[in-house]
């Protein structure tokens, strides 16, 4: 078939709902990643006075958990479906927001590393199904445009202001507010995942 001449117009005209849902389901991935890396690094080195090389080493350990979660979550997405995996990871991320203040604020190297490992593990679990889910949400004519737009819009919503918002929250309300931000981002993505139709067995056309 002839390619669509203006795929962006076609996308926003006829596929706005999956575009928005795809972007919203991505929000928790970016929130987890940037809160765990950019914000936590800043907070740990300035407020908690942890040496920067030491905190970076802690993050290097945590990244291994994200690397482990990614293939496991991808396999689970293929076996059980994208939605169940995303909903489960999102619910776990929602609960993890309540651990941010006591664990990150503890000043304990062990507790902070454990929290970073947990958050990046959940980030990997929530991120892995996206490579299959987003393309499956759009027909062939706008598949690349739709998946790319949803992915990047999710990044704008979930990542662009996350470290700044977290910094303002901790200044005006404390770490518990930052935890609330993580839980809110997770709730948004869970609701979006619930609204999605399962795509695992969808015949791509």
Q: Give Cα separations from 188 to 58, 93, 157, 173 (angstroms).
A: 29, 11, 11, 21
HEC secondary structure over 61-104: HHHHHHHHHHHHHHHHHHHHCHHHHHHHHHHHHHHHHHHHHHHH
Tell me how crowded residue 20 is: count the other CB atoms within 10 A of its CB: 16
Residue 10 is predicted with a pLDDT of 85
Q: Are 178 and 35 in contact (CB under 8 A)?
A: yes
Residue 2 is predicted with a pLDDT of 67
Q: Are 84 and 125 in contact (CB under 8 A)?
A: no
- Name, in order, each residue with C-beta under 8 angstroms of 24's C-beta and a sequence gap of 6 or more: 154, 157, 188, 189, 191, 192
- With tokens 């990614």, the residue in question is 70
Residue 134 is predicted with a pLDDT of 92
Residue 29 is predicted with a pLDDT of 93
Burial of 44 (0-12, 13-18, 19+ CB in 10 A): buried
Query: Residue 116 and residue 157: Cα distance in Å, rounded?
Result: 22
Residue 203 is predicted with a pLDDT of 64
Query: pLDDT of the chain along its 205 residues, tens only?
Result: 667 777 888 888 888 999 999 999 999 999 999 999 999 999 999 999 999 999 999 999 999 999 999 999 999 999 999 999 999 999 999 999 999 999 999 999 999 999 999 999 999 999 999 989 999 999 888 888 999 999 999 989 888 888 889 989 999 999 999 999 999 999 999 999 999 888 877 666 5
Residue 9 is predicted with a pLDDT of 87
For residue 142, which phi and psi values (nearest 5 degrees)? -130, 20
Classify each residue of 93-127 as buried b or exposed e, where b means 16 or more C-beta atoms within 10 Å of its C-beta: bbebbebbbebbbeeeeeebbbbbbbbbbbbbbbb
Tell me how crowded residue 161 is: count the other CB atoms within 10 A of its CB: 12
Q: Are 118 and 99 in contact (CB under 8 A)?
A: yes
- Whether the model clears a pTM of 0.85, i.e. scores above it, the answer is yes
């Amino acid at each position: 078939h002839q390619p669509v001449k203006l795929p962006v117009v076609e996308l926003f005209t006829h596929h706005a709902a999956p575009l928005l849902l795809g972007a919203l389901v991505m929000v928790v991935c970016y929130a987890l990643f940037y809160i765990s890396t950019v914000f936590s690094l800043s907070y740990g080195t300035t407020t908690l006075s942890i040496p920067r090389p030491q905190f970076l080493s802690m993050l290097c350990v945590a990244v291994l958990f994200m690397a482990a979660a990614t293939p496991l979550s991808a396999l689970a997405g293929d076996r059980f479906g994208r939605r169940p995996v995303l909903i489960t990871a999102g619910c776990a991320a929602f609960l993890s927001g309540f651990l941010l203040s006591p664990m990150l604020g503890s000043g304990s190297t062990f507790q902070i590393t454990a929290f970073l490992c947990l958050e990046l593990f959940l980030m990997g679990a929530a991120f892995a199904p996206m490579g299959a889910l987003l393309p499956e949400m759009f027909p062939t004519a706008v598949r690349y445009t739709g998946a790319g737009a949803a992915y990047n819009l999710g990044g704008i919503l979930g990542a662009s202001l996350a470290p700044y918002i977290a910094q303002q929250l901790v200044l005006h309300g404390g770490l518990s507010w930052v935890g609330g931000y993580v839980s809110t981002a997770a709730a948004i993505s869970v609701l979006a995942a619930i609204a999605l139709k399962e795509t695992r067995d969808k015949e791509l056309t």
